Structure 1
Amino acid sequence: MAEVCRGVVPETDSSPSPPCESHSRVARRRRMELRKVKFVTPPETENGIKRPKLRIYSRFCDNAVENSCSDEENQLRLLVTNKGSPPTIIVAPILSPLNCTSLLVQSVACPKFGFASVCGRRRDMEDAVAIHPSFLQMEQENSGDLHYFGVYDGHGCSHVATKCKERLHELVKEELENNEGNDEWELAMDRSFHRMEKEVIAWNKTVTRATCRCEMQTPECDAVGSTAVVAVVTPDKIIVANCGDSRAILCRNGKAIPLSNDQKPDRPDELNRIQEAGGRVIYWDGPRVSGVLAMSRAIGDNYLKPYVICEPEVTITDRTAEDDCLILASDGLWDVVSNDTACGVAGMCLKGKAPPVSSAPASMPENGPVGVVNSDQGCSDASMLLTKLALARRSSDNVSVVVVDLRNNT
């Protein structure tokens, strides 16, 4: 048996090698010697440019939050633990290939929520969901944080819905900040939606087969659009801006209160507006603008201007202690599930009276779940159960559902 020698040879040790070692073994050991490591604080500037500082804010969300973020934000994942004690923050690279998120935080300041988004029986997934807790901190006294929730239902392709997911909350934030807190919600939302449409139309002009998933030539991208239902939750109000046939409802004391009105071509006021603009509503598998689009308002759809507009309808609702939850969803849910039924299902889940729901719905079509994100088990179960109910009732569209728990009066 070969003799094994052990030991650490200092760099300054000039003593001869042990007799058991060959010359090659000595050289190999010297290459493997431990070297001293010197830690140097990086300079404040590098090549004359000040190094950016990492900012960690003291406000954290109550749970795991998966948001849409920029490429820079997608480089980090923040994990916050030890609730009730000083938070421990672990920064780690995101390994998931998903385009969604990353910011996992904890705090009692943010409402609990959950959402589910499935492709359903459609060939492609064209829905998008954006959730941004504490996306804006108002400076006024006792104004608290503002929380943003949005559901976008694309048609023609997914890229307009994706652009809304990436940008609309930023535009809303800019408009509210520029408004200096005057609470002119209708004006801020209207400007945000119009700016969003201008960005989409400008972006469509640059779309080519190489950059657009719909593989359309540039002129054909004018036929792509998206609905948008957005809710901004403040400590005392719920502001909803709706453009299209996605919908928001408030569950209060077990009853459903609509916070938006579907903008369909056969709605009397919408029908009059379209006809006064010189357009027509043709019944082809339901009422459609020019026999094509099944909604009268949307972001995009430049080829149907001026009949299809992006002006949102805004409602402002005061919060009460009887509020249970807020539900936002695409028409894939509302086509087959009533407001009252959705409210009942969500309320049952929030009270813990519904059995736990697995993240993968039973009998899910081949295009299975696209996203299931939760910060609260009750909200997660409610969103998933509503999605499963829509599929069980043979919804043929993409289905996206967001459930926000309002019982903590956040």
Structure 2
Amino acid sequence: MQAFFGIFDGHGGAKAAEFVADNLEKNVLDEVILSEEEDSVEEAVKRGYLKTDSAFLKGDLHGGSCCVTALIRNGNLAVSNAGDCRAVISRGGVAEALTSDHRPSREDERDRIETQGGYVDLCRGVWRIQGSLAVSRGIGDRHLKQWVIAEPETKVIRIEPEHDLLILASDGLWDKVSNQEAVDIARPLCVGSSKAQPLLACKKLVDLSVSRGSLDDTSVMLIKLDRYA
């Protein structure tokens, strides 16, 4: 069984997120199938992300998009991110982040940017590249491409029976709601119930973020993992 899921959070307009939503899945799956016998899933996913970025930059399009994706294939889960969208898995109700946000405040990201001749500074409490962008990886961002790379980080795990729920969401959620809180709210509405209500769970998470003052775009996706274990 195979499945692909993604959250794409655009900045500088919607064009980049729309482009990624239309193209990334095909590019990743093409690379995974091509390299099935020869290469790792991590490398195949990376090529899919870079191919999508290259195609976007060839067009007359502006802006950029953070991404988090989940590829389920043959009982394995490959989670990838470029930017500050995040994937959190529930292991029997215990939350674990499978991705690490790409922000200029991350020491290794700041070092990479400065090594490439860029700078990172603190603007009104937020670390930004060249005084501009608050994420350090993503697809697009033509004017900052030297520093804002599209290369994802990928983690691959075997889906076990205790893995019951995967949450993919943009930073509009994670800036206001902790990983464990998100699992605590979503899981009862999705796991172990004859009447699962994943849409209600998504709405509860978004509403909580808004009630805590989030003004950011917030996208949330819930994936029940029991059918893939």
Could you say which TM-score interval applies, normalised by the shorter chain? over 0.9
Report deviation, 1:319.
1.2
The structure 1 residue matched to 2:19, chosen from 150, 163, 171, is: 163
Q: Secondary structure at the match of 1:292?
A: coil
Report deviation, 1:351.
4.2
Report deviation, 1:308.
1.0
Alignment pair present for 1:146 and 2:2: yes
C-alpha separation in 2, matches of 1:238 and 1:259: 10
Report deviation, 1:303.
0.8
Q: Secondary structure at the match of 1:310?
A: coil
C-alpha separation in 1, matches of 2:53 and 2:191: 40
C-alpha separation in 1, matches of 2:201 and 2:94: 16
Which residue is equivalent to 2:225? 406
The structure 2 residue matched to 1:238, chosen from 50, 54, 77, is: 77
Going from structure 1 to structure 2, the CA distance change for 1:165 and 1:339 (only over 3 Å counts) comes to: same
Which residue is equivalent to 2:173? 333
Normalized against structure 2, the TM-score is what? 0.94
What is the identity, as a one-letter code, of the residue corresponding to 1:327?
I
Where does 1:63-102 land on structure 2 (aligned, <5 Å)? Answer: none
Q: Which has the higher contact order (CA 8 A, sep 6+)?
A: 2
What is the identity, as a one-letter code, of the residue corresponding to 1:326?
L
Report deviation, 1:394.
1.5
Whether the 8 Å CA contact 1:282–1:289 is kept in 2: the answer is: yes
Which residue is equivalent to 2:117? 278
Regions of 4+ moved over 3 Å: 180-183
Report deviation, 1:389.
1.2
Whether the 8 Å CA contact 1:321–1:407 is kept in 2: the answer is: yes
Q: Secondary structure at the match of 1:399?
A: coil
CA displacement 1:122-153 (0-9 Å, x = unmatched): xxxxxxxxxxxxxxxxxxxxxxx210000000
C-alpha separation in 2, matches of 1:321 and 1:296: 35
Alignment pair present for 1:251 and 2:107: no
Report deviation, 1:184.
1.1
Whether the 8 Å CA contact 2:165–2:191 is kept in 1: the answer is: no
Where does 1:352-371 land on structure 2 (aligned, <5 Å)? Answer: none
Unaligned runs of 5+ residues in structure 1 are: 1-144, 208-220, 354-375
CA RMSD after TM alignment: 1.6
CA displacement 1:6-65 (0-9 Å, x = unmatched): xxxxxxxxxxxxxxxxxxxxxxxxxxxxxxxxxxxxxxxxxxxxxxxxxxxxxxxxxxxx
Whether the 8 Å CA contact 1:327–1:401 is kept in 2: the answer is: yes
Which residue is equivalent to 1:187? 43
Whether the 8 Å CA contact 2:82–2:153 is kept in 1: the answer is: yes
Unaligned runs of 5+ residues in structure 2 are: none
The structure 1 residue matched to 2:208, chosen from 377, 385, 389, is: 389
C-alpha separation in 2, matches of 1:196 and 1:184: 19
Q: Which has the larger radius of gyration?
A: 1
Whether the 8 Å CA contact 1:352–1:378 is kept in 2: the answer is: no
C-alpha separation in 1, matches of 2:36 and 2:157: 21
Going from structure 1 to structure 2, the CA distance change for 1:182 and 1:293 (only over 3 Å counts) comes to: same
Which residue is equivalent to 1:297? 137
Where does 1:192-207 land on structure 2 (aligned, <5 Å)? Answer: 192-204=48-60
Whether the 8 Å CA contact 1:321–1:409 is kept in 2: the answer is: no
Report deviation, 1:407.
2.4
Going from structure 1 to structure 2, the CA distance change for 1:246 and 1:279 (only over 3 Å counts) comes to: same
Whether the 8 Å CA contact 1:325–1:405 is kept in 2: the answer is: yes
What is the identity, as a one-letter code, of the residue corresponding to 1:301?
D
